[in-house]
Amino acid sequence: MIKVTIWNEFRHEVAQDRWGERCREHYPNGIHIALKQNLASEDLLIRTATLADPEQGLPDELLNDTDVLMWWGHVAHKEVSDALVDKIQNRVLGGMGLIVLHSGHKSKIFQRMTGCSCALHWREAGESERVWTIDPAHPICKGVPPYFVVERTEMYGEPFGIPEDAKPIFISWYQGGDVFRSGVTLQRGLGKIFYFSPGHETFPIYHDPNVLKVLSNAIRWAAPVMPIMADPLSCPNAVESPEPLPPYVF
């Protein structure tokens, strides 16, 4: 059983304006609830958290019981406390998987884990996006077609300010002609990280079967393969030497 926590800033979907109405057409209970429902599987224990929850949604009991953290944020990145970002970073270094979605590219935690600006350029024109699978052998691409189309999307374009070790898994082309590394993997410490850009809040992208397949695969890929280290920054003193090797005999 993989313990997944879907964290959502949850601001757009409750806004009392036209923007909020557009979001609620697709996500009446929030993006986090839609993802939880659409990713439900017998081998996943999925919990949700939002910024407005106590301790910004991630008290120690929950964070320390999370194998894979999924993160959607946009307008409130700065409100996430640095102390919480420290804890999440530590948990990732110890082995927790981290899946950063869409506008989470500018989240404190993604910038922290990459050490980069994570900047890009964008255009909201409702154009279509063709997502190309460029590493069909990667576990995240299992069962994903050579390409799929997101009918209406927000364009995210290059240059994307991510580190050179970010490995592209998907590349997107947009109707306007822009291209973008829309799915990349990283590892920091023992933790695996996946960034995936499709997921603008006013379009039903998290109901798209191909997008859900990618995220479903990403959860399994990012899940830790060993117990998560509580203190990955420790440098233990190796007091005891390993067993000496027997002398070499010619």
> What letter does residue 195 receive in the DSSP assignment?
E
Residue 36 or 200: the one with the smaller Cβ distance to Zn ion is 200
Q: List residues bridging with 191 in a β-sheet.
A: 188
Residue 41 or 117: the one with the smaller Cβ distance to Zn ion is 117
d(CA 123, CA 121): 7
Residue 103 or 217: the one with the smaller Cβ distance to Zn ion is 103
Residue with the closest Cβ to Zn ion?
200
Q: Minimum CB separation from Zn ion for residue 198, in Å?
A: 10
Choose the binding region for Zn ion from 104-112, 161-169, 200-208, 242-250 (rule: CB under 5 A).
Answer: 200-208
φ and ψ at residue 145, rounded to 5 degrees? -65, 165
Which are the contacts of 177, defined by CB distance < 8 A and separation ≥ 6?
Answer: none
Q: Examine residue 13 and tell whether it contacts Zn ion (CB under 5 A).
A: no
Q: 109, 101, 110, 107: which is closest to 6 by C-alpha?
A: 101
| H or E element that contains 196 | strand 191-196
Q: Which of 9, 13, 67, 154 binds Zn ion (CB under 5 A)?
A: 154
d(CA 28, CA 30): 6
Q: Examine residue 200 and tell whether it contacts Zn ion (CB under 5 A).
A: yes
Place of tokens 């990403």: 218
**Which 82-141 residues touch Zn ion, going by CB under 5 A?**
103
Q: Minimum CB separation from Zn ion for residue 203, in Å?
A: 9
Residue 72 or 221: the one with the smaller Cβ distance to Zn ion is 72
Q: Minimum CB separation from Zn ion for residue 157, in Å?
A: 13
125: left (phi over 0), alpha (psi -120 to 50) or beta: alpha
Q: Examine residue 9 and tell whether it contacts Zn ion (CB under 5 A).
A: no
Residues that bind Zn ion (CB under 5 A): 103, 154, 200
